[in-house]
Structure 1
Amino acid sequence: MIAVWIILFILLIVFFSSFVTIKQGTIGVITVFGKYRRILLPGLNFKVPLIEQLYSRISIQNRSVELEFQAVTIDQANVYFKAMLLYSVLNQSEETIQNVAFKFVDERNLMQALVRTVEGSIRAYVATKRQSDVLVLRREIVEHVKDQIDNILEGWGYHLQDLQLNDITFDEAIMKSMSQVVASNNLKAAAENEGQALLITKTKAAEAEGNAIKIAAEAERQASQLRGQGVALFREEVAKGMTVAAKEMEQANMDTSVILFTMWTEAIKHFSENSKGNVIFLDGSAENMQRTMKEMMSMHALGMEENKR
């Protein structure tokens, strides 16, 4: 009876050991007497009891690791990197799973090789660049690393998903000198901008002044023209009036020199009221007045001839 129970117990153990549950996001690796046999996909799987062994469960999910390391540029400047590495199993094929399962002794050795490979690739690239160029080469560094280690990782069964250079710093003395360079460049740019602004302001002011002078000159020219036209019209009207008055006085047998005398006295009155001088010299002879009267009458007659044309 006891033997029966023992046999049943053994059978139960064998039965339950024939089934293996593989979680989502992992792949099971089966070996027979230490040799690779097949893979198990997520879910409930059957294996031959006592012969097939579950060697390992391999995660196919994305994994990340943070890196901190130092590199030296071609001009002997120390550069300190803080990076985040994102990687995963290349695919779920048998060949890839075999590489992942058997290339390294354990996960720790894989991680050490992966980190050292990435750091070595970045160091080799930075060693060919100057310190002043490193900060603007983030993308180029990442692309260089991917080109260099993608084939290596594929041989291990992995794929580099992403490499982020979160922080790039230098020695304190270099950082201080870089800050001073940036500050001086900013001051230089500010001075150049201020100079350009001042030049533009002065140029605009000169243009405005020139335009104002042109406008004032044009206004003065037009005003002078109008004044000249006004004086000409005034003289023409005076000549007309004097001509008419002279004709009326001749018809009345009166001396026309009375008109000239009246104009002469009005001129003296006007000069005395508006002139700032103390002495006025005038030729008040009758001969000069008669000559002026004849000239004005001739001008009136010439104007009448032009109007008729």
Structure 2
Amino acid sequence: MAQHWVATDFGGLDVLRLVDVDVPAPGPGEVTIAVTAAGVNPADAKHVARPGDRDQLPVPIGYEVAGRITAVGPDTDIASGGGEVGDEVLAFRVRGGYATELTVPASAVFARPPALAPEEAANLLLAGTTAAEMLHVTGVRAGDTVLLHGASGAVGVSLLQQAALIDVRVVGTAGEAGADVVRRFGGEPVRYGDGLADRVRALAPGGVVAALDAVGTDEAVDVSLELVADRQRIVTIAAQSRAGRDGIRAIGGAMPASKAFRDAARARLVELAADGRLVVPMARTFPLTEARVALELLAGGHPGGKLALLP
């Protein structure tokens, strides 16, 4: 038996329950992982916050983990090649990562770089692939200057690092507490709030070629529209309603094009982490039993880094 967090209904954190489950043996193309750390992301709670198909209940919670392989299905290799019992791995785009053990598609599993601790590895790919897609869909190239809303958050920090690797200058919005984080990872912080557009113009008198929104506020979208003429070079991950109304791009892990890109981007991001060129700043870890506490902290905003659950 293993322990899994599931949503027994649709709604807030009170619908989450820690339950005992039988973990199926892996079939062809699958492996079983004993979870060492589970990444904590806003999407973990958001996808059960609104009413959905009740036939899908209970819904397993958690999309990314790090751990150790405990069983391998017949004729099966993991995404990075090989894969044997005892190997340390990470996995992204799984169902039910808030668990002590789970069986997952081997195509979602990669060898864990020794440079990453388990709790870091368990938080690498959801934020990392999201950031990579934002750079991709806006056509950012070396020498460009871009505006990033929410630069000190998890997606923002990964994007700052990935942008620096391709010689892209990033002006990133942040509060006073986040400004040092933006500088640490190669961005130029700018305070959000009234007058934001003018402050960006002062920092980038030549203009910004694209705007990347990781916060979803009206201010972020309005300033992006004011500063970037080509609406196809404005992307949001959190303001889908504004995207439909204003003709800007919206991306999300459930969208087929986003899913395909993010799946293809995983191997490259693992390589960058293995080389130490992509790091995952951590704020806190929690016992698996305190998943609700971790999600409450995350929902409050600005935890100062990533959070992980440790079974």
Q: TM-score, normalised by structure 2?
A: 0.21
Q: Which has the larger radius of gyration?
A: 1
Q: Kindly indicate which of the two structures has a greater share of residues assigned to helix.
A: 1
Higher relative contact order (CA 8 A, sep 6+): 2
Q: Kindly indicate which of the two structures has a greater share of residues assigned to strand.
A: 2
